[in-house]
């Protein structure tokens, strides 16, 4: 059972994470796609030895609505999460899932890559890049 102190700490950490995301989204330099985006999907970056795997949380986003490009030493994810039709007429009690356009630039670990594969599974986009010697 969680104590009141544990719950308060978890809530404080959640607020800090939300503030950090908002700051990154609002204060990016330039006027490119990132400025037009409403949110950045969270990502994990894993190195398996032979591949670099990027896992992006994109709940409710279809694979065909995501564009993945290589830009120098970065992978760029762009697309949109379309609000559900019920949102137009529903009384909203809580809304935490981001809506609208997203843009995320992910710096790759140093190295060279020669093959990219994409897969959407259980609300996550998996981008695998094969490392070359």
3-state secondary structure string across the chain: CCCHHHHHHHHHHHHHHHHHHHHHHHCCCCCCHHHHCCECCCEEEEECCCEEEEEEECCCCCHHHEEEEEECCEEEEEEEECCCHHHHCCCCCCCCCCCEEEEEEEECCCCEEEEEEEEEECCEEEEEEEEEC
Q: What is the pLDDT of residue 2?
A: 73
Q: What is the pLDDT of residue 47?
A: 94
CA torsion sign for 56, 129, 77, 79 is: negative
Q: How many CB atoms lie within 10 A of CB 5?
A: 8
CB hemisphere CA count around 127 (13 angstroms): 23
- For residue 10, is pLDDT > 70? yes
Picking from 98, 116, 97, 96, the residue whose alpha carbon sits closest to that of residue 106 is 116
pLDDT tens per residue, range 56-89: 999 999 999 999 999 989 999 999 998 888 888 8
Q: Is the model more confident about 54 or about 29?
A: 54
- For residue 31, is pLDDT > 70? no
Q: What is the pLDDT of residue 74?
A: 94
* pLDDT-above-90 percentage for the chain: 50
Q: Is the model more confident about 12 or about 90?
A: 90
Q: How many residues does this entry show for the chain? A: 133
pTM of the entire predicted model = 0.70
Please, which pLDDT band fits residue 1 given cuts at 50, 70 and 90? low
């Amino acid at each position: 059972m969680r104590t009141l102190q544990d719950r308060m700490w978890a809530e404080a950490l959640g607020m800090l994470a939300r503030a950090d995301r908002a700051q990154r989204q609002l204060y990016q330099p330039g006027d490119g796609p990132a400025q037009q985006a409403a949110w950045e999907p969270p990502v994990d970056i894993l190195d398996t030895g032979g591949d670099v795997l990027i896992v992006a949380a994109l709940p409710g986003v279809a694979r065909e609505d995501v564009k993945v490009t290589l830009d120098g030493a970065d992978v760029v994810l762009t697309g949109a999460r379309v609000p559900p039709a019920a949102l137009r007429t529903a009384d909203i009690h809580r809304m935490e899932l981001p809506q609208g356009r997203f843009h995320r630039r992910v710096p790759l670990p140093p190295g060279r890559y020669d093959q990219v594969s994409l897969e959407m599974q259980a609300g996550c986009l998996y981008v695998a890049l094969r490392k070359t010697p």
